[in-house]
Amino acid sequence: MQRIVLAALSGGLFGAGLLVSGMTDTTKVQGWLDIFGAWDPTLAFVLGGAILPMLLAWHMTTKRAMSLVGEPFPAKPDPRLGHNLVIGSVLFGAGWGLVGLCPGPAIASLSWGGTGGIAFILAMIGGMLIARPIRLQIDRLAAI
């Protein structure tokens, strides 16, 4: 039960932060990415602001053995980068630029995003479903 409450608290605060920061507005995101247009630096403030509490949080994980619910903290990620990290990030960035939405803001704006917002979420879910066969195909090609 504690896990569920904490997850809801986190999700709710995440959604509120996305709305307050302006990141659910596609023109602000595209304004940040469009360095040759009317460049909008807001996203730098959002990312910088979000990293600050997390610097402290990661530091706190070194001081205690377990999370509040008794789960261990996430292990250090595999230091190897791999082709999928780069290919995936390039594809994600292209889609993010095209529409101005990434997964968090797409879900957060569901209640006011209209049919366009719903279409984006459905396409994103479709993409997530076909990602595994695509990954297998890429890995096969990379092994040649």
Partner 1 sequence: MIETDWIWGLIGGLMIGMAAAIFLLGNGRIMGASGIIGGLVDRTGLGNWAERVAFLAALIVVPALMLPLYSVEVSTNITSNLAVIIAGGLLVGIGTRLANGCTSGHGVCGISRFSLRGIVATVFYLLAGGIAMVLFRHVLGVI
Question: Whose Cβ is closer to partner 1: residue 112's or residue 144's?
Answer: 112
Separation CA 54–CA 45 (nearest Å): 15
Question: Whose Cβ is closer to partner 1: residue 129's or residue 143's?
Answer: 129
Torsions phi, psi for 40 (to 5 deg) = -120, 110
Where in 75-134 is the site for partner 1 (CB under 8 A)?
A: 76-79, 81, 84-114, 116-117, 119-132, 134
Question: Whose Cβ is closer to partner 1: residue 38's or residue 144's?
Answer: 38
Separation CA 26–CA 40 (nearest Å): 12
Q: Does 142 bind partner 1 (CB under 8 A)?
A: no
Q: Tell me the one-letter amino acid at 21.
A: S
Number of residues near partner 1 (by CB under 8 A): 117
- Give the containing element (helix H, strand E) for 124: helix 114-143
Where in 27-56 is the site for partner 1 (CB under 8 A)?
A: 27-28, 30, 33-37, 40-56
Question: Which DSSP symbol is given to 71?
Answer: P
For the CB of residue 143, give the shortest distance to partner 1 in the complex, in Å. 16
Separation CA 101–CA 30 (nearest Å): 9
Q: Which of 68, 140, 142, 144 binds partner 1 (CB under 8 A)?
A: 68
The mark string for 2-21 relative to partner 1 (x by CB under 8 A, - otherwise) is xxxxxxxxxxxxxxxxxxxx
Q: Residue 47 in contact with residue 133, Cβ under 8 Å?
A: no
